[in-house]
Copies of this chain bind each other. A is one copy, B any other.
Amino acid sequence: MDGDTSKDLSTGVALPPPDDEFVSEKELESWTNTILPGQYDSYEGVIIDHRSLPSDASVFKKYLIASIAQWKKERKHGIWLKLPIENVKLVEAAVAAGFGYHHAEPAYLMLTLWLPDGPCTLPPNASHQVGVGAFVLNDKNEILAVQEKNGPLKGTGVWKMPTGLTNQGEDIFDGAIREVKEETGVDARFVEVVGFRQGHQCQFDKSDLFFLCILRPTSTEIVAQESEIAAAKWMPLSEFKAQPIFDTRPTMKKMLEVCLARVEGKYQGFAYEDIHPDSLNSNSYFYYNQVDFFGSQQQSIFRAKDGERSCRRVVT
């Protein structure tokens, strides 16, 4: 090994040098039966079968060197190597063979190797976290407000709407309903997304999409979440609006104003529709301006019946 480093064309990241320990042609030939099992994908790629990996790192290294030589001959492009965390002993050999990190989840580390000379065109990993905020107003013109135990507003006395990140695989409307329930104990139905904010360089340098949602409560009793919420209450809207925080935070102010316009029936957001599976997506929801689309009158959230316009279903 010398001190040279190569450069991943896709990212500009300096990688450690591939292990250049001498392997003779003869030795390489003797490994011809050591091509790692895998599948070819439709992009000239190879997906190595991680269920059939040798458990010994030095054996794995031989397999890797022989396999890469073979795939280069076959003019393959991207090689995908998923190493379950149980196979952690193999990670070092993979990096020594030229593989780089692609992404990781608790159960595995995904490594990739790009063989052609041109720039790497492998798809990147997920880029965004998705958060929700819930504006929940009851029939007495009281808003469901919380004070945070942690985070930047901790200890400031500021009352805010419940917010949180969606879980992996969770829909925006479900995430908003769940966060309200978790933080305050209140049940609610989803009405609309009235706006969304995109920001960058958030947690782990990833981006953030925050969906501002209108919900209607279907229960009243409050049970504040112990771990995250310092206090929760139904608060007169006039009192909530009068908080000085809105004078210094243009985003919070605009979001409040949009919610108020929606409540007053002067504004329309996006409700969701359950699109029946088509051949591309097994399960997805489309959010759009259904009042404009279907030509109905704009409605106050107080007049809308439960479930109305919050979810349509396309029948084909």
Q: Which residues of A contact B (CB under 8 A)?
A: 8, 10-11, 13, 15-16, 42-43, 85-86, 88-89, 91-92, 95-96, 100-110, 121, 123-130, 150, 152, 165-169, 171-172, 194-201, 203-207, 209, 227, 248-252, 254-255, 257-258, 261, 266-270, 273, 275-276, 278-289, 292-293, 295, 314, 316
Contacts and interface: CB of A to CB of B under 8 A. Distances in A.
A245 to B, nearest CB: 10
B92 A101 contact: no
A278 to B, nearest CB: 5
Nearest to A129: B126
A129 B168 CA distance: 12
B150 A204 contact: no
Contact of A172 (B198, B266, B281, B284): B198
A130 to B, nearest CB: 5
A251 B268 contact: no
Nearest to A101: B104
Contacts of A249: 278-280
A150 B43 contact: yes
B42 A150 contact: yes
Contact of A283 (B130, B199, B285): B199
Sorted from nearest, which 10 A-B pairs have the closest CB atoms? A195-B288, A199-B284, A104-B104, A126-B206, A101-B104, A126-B126, A11-B106, A267-B292, A88-B95, A128-B128
Given A16-B86, A101-B109, A254 B314 contact: yes
B104 A103 contact: yes
Contacts of A123: 165, 203
B287 A168 contact: no
A251 B101 contact: no
A123 B104 CA distance: 15
Nearest to A258: B288
A13 B84 CA distance: 11
Contact of A85 (B15, B281, B286): B15
A125 B252 CA distance: 25
A8 B92 CA distance: 24
Given A88-B16, A254-B273, A168 B106 contact: no
A139 to B, nearest CB: 24
A250 B316 contact: yes
Given A200-B169, A204-B103, A289 B269 contact: yes
Contact of A195 (B125, B171, B270, B282): B270
Contacts of A289: 194-195, 258, 267-269, 289
Given A281-B199, A287-B197, A289-B269, A130 B261 contact: no
A9 B268 CA distance: 42
Contacts of A171: 198, 200
A301 B283 CA distance: 32
Contacts of A195: 270, 286-289
A270 B96 CA distance: 49
